[in-house]
Amino acid sequence: MKSWQKKLIKIVSPLLKKLEPDHGAAHSRVVFWWCLILTEDNQRVDKDTLFAAAWLHDLGHLKLKSGIENRERKHSDLSISLARSILKKAGVSEKKAKLIKEIIKVHEENLDLLKMKLPLECLIFHDADKMDSLGALGIARQFVYSGRVNKKFWDPSIPRNASLPWGGNFSAMHTILDSQMNLKFYTKKGKRISEDRKRYMHSYIKRFFQEWDFKK
């Protein structure tokens, strides 16, 4: 591990402890692990920027009231504001810092990233972060997060609205149904793996509502 990477982790670790277990250090490690998998040994990819983004991209959750965000107050923008000084303290070059901030900026973007003509690192990181929202672990993380921000795991009295960011964050199941199940992936490997995880989630959702409605 490079010296600046050690410095960065030392700075952010106390902050990420406040976001455990759903958006803390464990999530950061998993996201970077996925970045390496999705990079597929592409020598053009700047892995340093992916490393830094993995440790910085969710810090904005610390500034969100009750943990809930909207179009006007995104955790990605708040993360960038915190990342600026951290990157300087860690000794990251201006060139790398610029790309790191761009990666963080679009990692929660719902628009078609391909139309935005972004660096490859942005697409890889987007897929890596979203991969941790899918499958058994993704479901577990969503329930933990909803509990942390005082949201129910399901509230059938609230209409579903897929047009809202994260399904409105009304409950864990609102987000799972209207956000996580609709996540778009851009890398070849990300598309393949995400489809397998979504198939599992379909079976979980079916079982969840069977039990909710007291059906066998």
pTM value?
0.92
DSSP-derived secondary structure for 90-130: HT--HHHHHHHHHHHHHTT--S-GGGGT--HHHHHHHHHHH
Question: How many structural domains is the chain composed of?
Answer: 2
Contact predicate 202/139, CB 8 Å: no
Residue after which a domain boundary falls, among 98, 131, 164: 131
Q: Are residues 112 and 147 in the same domain?
A: no
Which residues in the chain come in under a pLDDT of 50? Answer: none
Residue after which a domain boundary falls, among 79, 105, 131: 131
Domain that holds residue 198: 133-216
Give pLDDT, residue 5: 97
Q: Are residues 33 and 64 in the same domain?
A: yes
Q: Are residues 113 and 151 in the same domain?
A: no
Q: Are residues 48 and 26 in the same domain?
A: yes
Q: Are residues 48 and 4 in the same domain?
A: yes
Give pLDDT, residue 108: 84
Give pLDDT, residue 216: 65
Query: What would the two tokens of residue 157 be?
Result: 């009295």
Q: Are residues 41 and 106 in the same domain?
A: yes
Q: Are residues 78 and 8 in the same domain?
A: yes
Give pLDDT, residue 178: 93
Residue after which a domain boundary falls, among 85, 101, 131: 131
Q: Are residues 107 and 147 in the same domain?
A: no
Q: Are residues 138 and 125 in the same domain?
A: no
Q: Rounded CA gap, 42 and 216, in Å?
A: 49
Q: Are residues 103 and 142 in the same domain?
A: no
Query: What would the two tokens of residue 83 be?
Result: 């990342």
Give pLDDT, residue 28: 98
Q: Is the dihedral of CA 114, 117, 118, 121 positive or negative?
A: positive
Report the CATH number that the domain containing residue 196 is assigned in CATH. Answer: 1.20.58
Q: Are residues 144 and 195 in the same domain?
A: yes
Contact predicate 103/57, CB 8 Å: yes
Identify which of 109, 98, 112 has the alpha carbon closest to the alpha carbon of residue 49.
98
Q: Are residues 44 and 90 in the same domain?
A: yes
Query: What would the two tokens of residue 97 be?
Result: 């810092």
Report the CATH number that the domain containing residue 127 is assigned in CATH. Answer: 1.10.3210.10
Amino acid at 162: A
